[in-house]
Amino acid sequence: MLYSAAGTAGLVVALAFGGAGTLASLIFAFWGSAKLFRLSRTFLIAGVAATVVSVAALEVALVTHDFSIAYVVANNSRETPLLYDITGMWSALQGSLLLWAALQGAFIALVIVATRREEDRRTAALSTGILGVVFTYFIAMMVLAANPFMATRGPIPADGLGPNPLLQEYPLVAVHPPLLYAGFVGMSVPFALMVAALARKNLTPGWIGRVQRWALFSWVALTAGIVLGAWWSYQVLGWGGYWAWDPVENAALLPWLTTTAFLHSVLIDRHRRRMGPASFALVAASFSLTILGTYFTRSGVLQSVHAFSDSSLGTALIVLFALTVTASVAVALFRADLLLSGRRVAVSSRPAGLLLNNGLIVLMAAVILAGTVFPLFIQYLEHQSVTVGAPFFNRFVIPIGLAILALMAIGPWLRWRETPLALLAERLLLPAIAAAVVLAVAVLAGVRSLATIGAYALATFVIVSSTMALARLVLASSRTRRVAALLSRSSAGLVVHIGVAIVAVGMASATTFGHQGSVKLRPLGTISVYGQRLTYLGVRTVVTPARTSFEAAVVVNGGGTFYPAISQFGQYATPVGTPAVDVNPLRDVYLTIDNPPSTATGAITLGIVVQPLIVWLWVGAAVMAGGGLLALPGTGVRRRPAARTARTPEMAAGGGR
């Protein structure tokens, strides 16, 4: 009971000090004294420290198997490996809220440190106060409705149920959820900074840059979290896919899209040295969508393999979402004079290209949001269950995505002011020729899908164009500054674009040319299917303290041996299939056990999925995340021209101001 008492006490103290610090911050932002400013920060730090105590208490309870806590009974067992003991903290509803609150607290502490020398203390206090509202809200939900330290009812069991089998199948459970949460929770920081700056009329270039850096951090975390989630789905769930347009998947993608749009929009703001209405709207939308996504995941309103079970938190989360949207609209209307600008934009300029790009991204987000919430409205209005599947999303998202690819190829060559069309045509000639060649080769090779042909051609367009722009950016710098130019934010953006193009190639190839089926084999039997040769050697049973696995040994193309399996975890009655994947730069061979043999010498039915070039999806995603890391503070180096006299129109077309 020690850990239960310590954890609950930590939450109560966090609620008290977090609430007091939040209130003090908000009061100081408009009316308070310097003493109140220091006191507010002390209170908030005390609340954050109390949350750390609760996190430590739950982790120790999980590792030591303290079954006096109901959460530990439901998500831990004595046979659970240490890694999954630790990750058990975020394996269910209550613990995931604690992870959210802990990350929120960490970001509050970082913002306090980052703004400790801020001249405008009232703006800094208002930003920490807004973050404190979110922090206190989540702590209150745990204290009042979802306490992870509730005592076990009745006699304390000798053992627990253990984590959900899907959460102890793959070590990515230690990485994917924390990264995704960091991206979700991290979006509260640019939101708080933006609202505070707007409310306090402090939209300075330095503050805008601070908002941009935090949004970029969240974008990188979301990118990595979403891709690792897709990889986890591909490696664990046994269906051979990585994205199913599941409502919870969509809930993670939506704020990623709006944050992507903001990172483009803020480039215009930094160039003009003022914040525009589009940037404010996109930051507010990104944070609001993280709350809406949390509602989808934790309310039980949507059915998903990724969602938590039904809970009583739906009302609290939808109220927080409504408050966020209402406050954002109110602040925007109240400070509309600071946001609105009548400056015109030339059609063939970089701002025009960025605005068009953002329009397409927001349109994509709107389509995905509509498809995700439509079943909820039908359920509420007509009491009928409907499903919006992949055909709907693909019908709209694919053409929008292709249009975005085309803009990504053109964008690097647009000037901040009007770009001569002749110069633009000259810069795009080689990328266009390369795209045309790839298009012709695809058609001659028998590719008939217009979407796939378009993806290949436009991805080539982007890769060649971005590589040329990157080379010009580096070569236009002096020799001593070329490394700095290569690590600049402009270069980082081009690297991200190249990564997106590689992802498009991987997705189009796997979708268009993939094969899926099943084969029946007896021991030592060999069969050729979809161009792959499979040899079935037999079966074996592998027993560990955590699970018992029934594995089939299969040799792929005369090379390595792979072991698709069916596993039984602890007290869970339902077995879980575990695929085995032969990864290759040209194709993946994905194996599952569809029907195990009745005897050791009997026939087995293996599921097989062959997906060409799918590995490049993961490579491209890594390139995207790497590009984002290059632009983060401390890693990205802002490029400055050596001298104005050395600037030529050609250099300006390659990314100058």
Tens of pLDDT along 105-159? 999 999 999 998 888 899 999 999 999 999 999 999 999 999 999 999 989 999 9
Question: Residue 462 in contact with residue 435, Cβ under 8 Å?
Answer: no
SS3 638: coil
Split at pLDDT 50, 70, 90, the class of 633 is: low
- How much of the chain is helix, strand and coil, in % rounded to 5? 65, 10, 25
Distance, CA of 218 to CA of 326 (rounded, Å): 23
Tell me what pLDDT residue 303 has. Answer: 60
Distance, CA of 96 to CA of 463 (rounded, Å): 39
Q: What is the pLDDT of residues 382-406, one digit of tens each?
A: 777 788 889 999 999 999 999 999 9
Question: Residue 614 in contact with residue 509, Cβ under 8 Å?
Answer: yes
Tell me what pLDDT residue 308 has. Answer: 54
Question: Residue 124 in contact with residue 113, Cβ under 8 Å?
Answer: no
**Averaging pLDDT over each range in 92-96, 167-171, 460-464, 635-639, which range is the top one?**
460-464
Distance, CA of 126 to CA of 137 (rounded, Å): 17
Split at pLDDT 50, 70, 90, the class of 475 is: confident
- What lies within 8 Å, CB to CB, of 291 at 6+ separation is 317, 320, 321, 324
386: enclosing H helix or E strand: none
Give the residue-averaged pLDDT of 78-91.
93
Lowest mean per-residue pLDDT among 139-148, 283-292, 376-385, 583-592? 376-385
137: enclosing H helix or E strand: helix 121-144
608: enclosing H helix or E strand: strand 604-612
Phi and psi of 244, rounded to 5°? -120, 10
Q: What is the DSSP string of 268-305?
A: HHHHHTS--HHHHHHHHHHHHHHHHHHHHHHHSSS--T
Q: Report the DSSP pairing between strands 576-578 and 565-569.
A: antiparallel
Tell me what pLDDT residue 97 has. Answer: 95
Q: Which residues pair with 551 in a beta bridge?
A: 540, 565
Q: Tell me which residue of 4, 150, 160 sits closest to 74, measured CA to CA.
A: 160
Q: Tell me which residue of 57, 49, 56, 51 sits closest to 5, measured CA to CA.
A: 57
Q: What is the pLDDT of residues 325-367, one digit of tens each?
A: 999 999 999 988 888 765 677 788 899 999 999 999 999 999 9
Residue 307 confidence (pLDDT) above 70: no
Tell me what pLDDT residue 35 has. Answer: 87
10 Å Cβ neighbour count for 544? 10
Distance, CA of 239 to CA of 650 (rounded, Å): 50
CA distances from 566 to 232, 323, 600 (A): 17, 47, 15
Lowest mean per-residue pLDDT among 17-26, 121-130, 197-206? 197-206
SS3 54: helix
Sign, Cα dihedral of 154, 159, 165, 168 = positive
Q: Tell me which residue of 267, 183, 173, 252 sits closest to 492, measured CA to CA.
A: 267
CA angle (125 as vertex; 124, 129 as ends), nearest 5: 120
Q: What is the DSSP string of 157-213?
A: PSS---S-GGGSS-GGGGTHHHHHHHHHHHTHHHHHHHHHHHHTT---HHHHHHHHH
Question: Residue 626 in contact with residue 503, Cβ under 8 Å?
Answer: no
Residue 34 confidence (pLDDT) above 50: yes
CA angle (98 as vertex; 96, 104 as ends), nearest 5: 105
**pTM, two decimal places:** 0.92
- What lies within 8 Å, CB to CB, of 625 at 6+ separation is 220, 223, 224, 227, 499
Phi and psi of 436, rounded to 5°? -65, -40
